[in-house]
C-alpha cells in the first residue's frame, strides 16, 4: 500500500468514529459551552488586594467597596485581547469644556495642559497622565476626569510634547525623563498651593508617575497616586508583546502610531546624525522605535539600558507617596509574572488591586461597556477615601 493510500484510509477511519461525527455536528454548541464555562471561571475569579497589614494603604483600601465587590468582566469580551480592543472602540468619550493652558519649558518646548472644573469646591486636583499616544480627549481619560468632577475635584490632563499641539523643539518624551512632569506639578502647586494634588497615570503615564514619585521621596508635591495598567518590568512586557498573536494585534499597531507621530515632526530631527529618520518612520515594533530613536535621544547607550531604567519593579521600595496600583493578570503589556508582589506588600505606601482578567486598561463591565469601567470605580472610591481622610 502506498503512503498516500495509507493516509487516506487513516483519514476515513478517524472520521468514521462516532465521537468525531458528534463533534462535527455540534461544534457550535460545544464551542459556546466551553466559552461559558471559561467565562464562569473568569466571573468568579477573585480580586486580590496586596498591602502591608496595618499600613496607611491597607487602612485606605479596606474602605473601598469596589475592591471588595471585585471585578466582573463583560461576558462577551472577557478574553484579554477583546477586553482591551473592545474597550478602546466602544467606550464613549465624554466631552468636557476644557480650558487649555500652554506651558513653556526651559528648552523652549511647549506642553499643553487641559483643565476641567477648575473652580471646584473641594481642595483637590486630579492630575491625569495618559498612555503612550494618549491625550485629554481620549475616552478613558475623559472618564477619569469625569470621576474627579463628580467627587467635587478639579482635573487637569497633561498632554506630552507634540501631542495635540505641534512639537516646538527637537525633543519628545519618554518613560524615564521627569523634567516636564515636574514642571507641570510645580506649576499646579504654585497656582493652587492650598489644594492637594492627586495623580493618576495610565500605562506609559503610570511608568512616568511611578518613577517620578519614587525619585522625589518625601519632597513630592503629589499627595496620593494611582497607577493603572503600567508595565512593571519592560523586558517581560516586550517578550509578551513580541509573541505572534500580540505582535500583530498591538505591537505593530502602536509602532505605526508612534511612527506617524515621528513623521509629523521629522523635520526637527533630519539634521541630527544620530537618527535614520526614514527607518524610524517605518519601525514595525515598539522596541525597534525605542532602539532607533527614544534611547538615543535621551542619552542611553542601548535600548536595554533605557528599559532597565524604566522598570517600575526596581523602584517600588523608594515610593513614599501613598500609591495604589491596578493591574490585570492577563494584561499583555504588563504580564502577571512581572508583578513585584513582595515589594508591594513590604512597602507601607503601596498597594495593588490585582484582577485575573481585564486586559490593558480595559476592565470592561456590564452588558454594553460604553461607560464607567472597573478602573473608574476604583478611582472614584480612592478619591472619596482620600478626601474623607483629609476632612
- Residues with catalytic annotation? 203, 331, 360
Q: How far apart are the first and last CA of the chain?
A: 87
Q: How many CA atoms lie within 13 Å of 248's alpha carbon, on the beta-carbon side?
A: 2
- Give yes or no for a contact between 145 and 157, defined as CB atoms under 8 angstroms apart: yes
Q: Which of 352, 360, 295, 356 is nearest to 319 (CA)?
A: 352
- Give yes or no for a contact between 356 and 83, defined as CB atoms under 8 angstroms apart: no
In sequence order, the 6+-apart residues with CB closer than 8 A to the CB of 273 are none
SS3 341: helix
d(CA 217, CA 144): 26
Supply the DSSP symbol for 360.
Answer: T
Residue 339, phi then psi, degrees to nearest 5 = -65, 125
d(CA 43, CA 360): 17
- Give yes or no for a contact between 99 and 109, defined as CB atoms under 8 angstroms apart: no
- Give yes or no for a contact between 176 and 170, defined as CB atoms under 8 angstroms apart: no
Nearest 10 degrees: Cα torsion 210, 167, 125, 379: -50
d(CA 95, CA 114): 12
HEC letters along 66-122: HHHHCCCCCHHHCCHHHHHHHHHHHCCCCCCCCEEEEEECCCCCEEEEEEECCCCCC
d(CA 350, CA 316): 8
Residue 315, phi then psi, degrees to nearest 5 = -115, -5
d(CA 353, CA 208): 19
Amino acid at each position: 500500500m502506498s503512503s498516500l493510500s495509507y493516509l487516506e484510509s487513516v483519514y476515513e477511519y478517524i472520521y468514521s468514529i462516532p465521537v468525531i461525527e458528534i463533534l462535527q455536528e455540534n461544534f457550535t454548541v460545544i464551542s459556546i459551552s466551553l466559552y461559558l464555562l471559561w467565562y464562569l471561571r473568569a466571573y468568579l475569579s477573585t480580586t486580590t488586594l496586596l498591602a502591608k497589614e496595618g499600613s496607611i494603604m491597607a487602612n485606605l483600601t479596606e474602605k473601598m467597596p469596589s475592591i471588595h465587590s471585585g471585578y466582573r468582566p463583560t461576558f462577551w469580551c472577557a478574553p484579554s485581547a477583546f477586553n482591551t480592543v473592545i474597550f478602546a472602540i466602544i467606550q464613549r468619550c465624554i466631552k468636557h469644556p476644557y480650558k487649555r493652558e500652554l506651558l513653556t519649558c526651559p528648552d523652549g518646548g511647549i506642553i499643553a495642559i487641559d483643565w476641567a472644573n477648575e473652580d471646584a469646591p473641594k481642595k483637590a486636583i486630579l492630575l491625569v497622565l495618559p498612555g503612550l499616544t494618549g491625550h485629554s480627549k481620549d475616552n478613558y481619560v475623559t472618564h477619569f476626569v469625569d470621576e474627579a468632577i463628580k467627587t467635587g475635584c478639579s482635573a487637569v490632563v497633561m498632554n506630552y510634547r507634540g501631542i495635540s499641539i505641534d512639537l516646538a523643539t527637537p525633543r519628545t518624551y519618554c518613560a524615564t525623563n521627569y523634567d516636564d512632569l515636574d514642571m507641570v506639578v510645580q506649576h499646579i502647586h504654585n497656582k493652587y498651593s492650598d489644594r492637594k494634588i492627586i495623580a493618576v497615570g495610565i500605562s506609559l503615564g503610570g511608568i512616568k508617575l511611578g518613577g517620578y514619585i519614587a525619585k522625589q521621596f518625601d519632597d513630592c508635591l503629589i499627595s496620593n497616586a494611582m497607577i493603572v495598567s503600567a508595565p512593571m518590568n519592560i523586558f517581560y512586557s516586550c517578550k509578551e508583546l513580541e509573541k505572534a498573536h500580540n505582535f500583530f494585534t498591538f505591537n505593530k499597531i502602536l509602532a505605526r502610531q508612534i511612527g506617524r507621530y515621528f513623521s509629523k515632526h521629522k523635520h526637527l530631527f533630519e539634521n541630527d546624525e544620530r537618527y535614520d529618520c526614514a527607518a524610524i518612520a517605518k519601525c514595525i515594533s515598539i522596541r525597534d522605535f525605542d532602539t532607533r530613536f527614544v534611547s538615543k535621544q535621551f542619552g542611553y547607550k542601548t535600548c536595554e539600558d533605557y528599559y532597565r531604567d524604566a522598570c517600575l519593579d526596581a523602584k517600588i521600595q523608594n515610593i513614599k507617596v501613598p500609591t495604589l496600583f491596578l493591574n490585570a493578570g492577563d494584561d499583555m503589556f504588563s504580564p502577571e509574572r512581572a508583578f513585584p508582589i513582595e515589594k508591594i506588600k513590604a512597602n507601607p505606601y503601596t498597594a495593588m488591586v490585582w484582577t485575573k482578567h481585564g486586559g490593558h486598561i480595559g476592565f470592561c463591565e456590564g452588558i454594553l461597556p460604553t461607560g464607567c469601567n472597573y478602573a473608574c470605580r476604583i478611582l472614584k472610591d480612592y478619591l472619596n477615601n482620600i478626601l474623607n481622610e483629609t476632612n
